A and B are shown apart, each in its own frame.
Chain A
Amino acid sequence: MICAARTTGIVFFPAFDWAISPTHPEREERLLYTYDQLAEEGIFDIDGITEAKPDVVGKEDIERVHFLFADFDRTVTPSHLVACGGAVKAARLVMEKRVEKGAALVRPPGHHAMKSVQGNRGFCAVNNEAVMLEWIRSHYGPIRTAIVDTDCHHGDGTQDIYWYDPDTLYISVHQDGRTLYPGSGFPDEKGGGRGIGKTVNIPLPPGTSEEGFLHALEHTILPILEDYKPDLVINSAGQDNHYTDPITNMRFTAQGYARLTELLNPDIVVLEGGYSIQDALPYVNLGIILALAGTDYSHVREPDYDPDSLREDGETREYIKAVCDTALREYFVPSVPLPEPGRFLEREKRIYYDTDCITEHQKESILACDSCPGVRIIKSRSSSRPLSIGVEIPMKGCERCREEGHRIAGESKKSGRYEKVLLIDRCPQG
């Protein structure tokens, strides 16, 4: 019998009966061949690896994270509650110390879902990792966490949710936004308010392969983690950097993903995208699970794996090094100063929900505070809904900010100007 060096709980939930539409990449078949590979390999026969069933999260678990301005029942389907529930289950197994590592291979993905939800974007409606992390925090307190997003697309949703949060380090390594959806994720996006520097973006050029990704990991991500010293590391493990992925242009491999997992050594892995369902996912998922469990993965490779033909050219390699150096520098010496207390920091955003064809106009402000991350306010109107407002009092919110948050929410309600007034209070008294 094969033994895992680290006990690992896997929540595998392929949602074989759910699709965005019959030929959409996010359809029933997406994890079918992964299931076939994992079952044939006997991954759950490995001593120390156990399979678990997802929890199903409730409305309150979603509303702890998102301002759901869209209609809840129409936007959040049972499959979203199960995907989030799968992530929560993996986290629960780890937090209850029943396993050392947790992985949620669930769909649909979630890392494009932002703080405000007006619909579906980038195949995502709710943010699985954020729902999971805030579930953990609501049960275990404000745990210092790093989310390392290795999906090929910039995780603009996760970045947006944790933009102001100094207790959540968000690092995204992805294909350069000038060449891929959603078009964001540049080194100068580094968080706001007291969260400055706690967002790190490493946009890699098309064609990046094993050497480039591992360079980013070893020279930028790991040193930053070393400095930040998180108590929990979450990996948003998208698999669309693979050289066979139909909607991206990278050249990463199953061996590379496994090595990355081994070096990053996350506590919890949550599957994000990955649409080469026959030629990549079966091998990449296998490699990630074996590496996470501390088991030999040296024989895991694609049938046509040829590292020489995938290698970056010299120019690309130099470019990657430069990008990684910039990202590292921006973390250690953020070129934007901390905000002055008592001032409102403002951002205006236009967000397009490609899956639902909705455009959202958003005005966001945060009340800068010297003793807490500050009250966050989002005023949002979309092409299908009138103006709404969301007010969030953060977990470590100070007494003054808490009162201010409640006052703003109360006045907004009274004013009658908003369709919905949503209040997230993460430090309720008593």
Chain B
Amino acid sequence: MTQEVNETEEDIILAELADDELVEQMHDDLYDGLADEIAEGTQILLDRDWGPDKVLEKALVSGMNIVGVDFRDGILFIPEVLQTANAMKAGMAILSPLLAEIGAEPVGKMVIGTVKGDIHDIGKNLAGMMMEGAGFEVIDLGVNTLVEDYITALNEHKPDILGMSALLTTTMPYMKVVIDELKSQGMRDDLIVMVGGAPLNEEFRKAIGADTYCRDAATAVEVAKKMVGERRAIAT
């Protein structure tokens, strides 16, 4: 598949494309997970005096929308989605410092980890990578994460979202331990707490006082975008 794409690769010189064509090409390149091309395209647009926020919005974020749709429809498989996430990351690597400079709001930031006592990380990794694909900055704390580790990371990175994963009925309740600690440290309201993992459900989310439970990583991306947007709207 990638081979076919590569065959014609020489034919296109990104720098020669008009803005709208380039953006469209970047949408396709994102879709096809071509990280180098995305980095190149991002740079070209910046060189053409596009602001980093505009590049992010027009070339990258809107290009990723179709990825979500096609994943849901079973057109894109997970390894492909992760390729697109990788391409997105390549663009973000260039844009992030610039966005910070102009004080533009980044898409969002998430700290994620599998809770204490639990080593299941496939789902957590997927959720993290998909979030990166949507332009979020993701700090992954790995597995077996203690409440102290969560708190330290939250203080250090000041994320919009705390994501917790658990696959065991025995470890799920630890999420409540973390949330309670957030409350007692007065940090709870600064965060969107998002939880996931196969044995969880909505009822459990309510019981532990998390903000949202997401059944899968694709939903998580949608919900995260929405909730971060809402919070910002309220804040301003």
Q: State whether these chains interact.
A: no
B residues with CB within 8 A of A: none
A residues with CB within 8 A of B: none
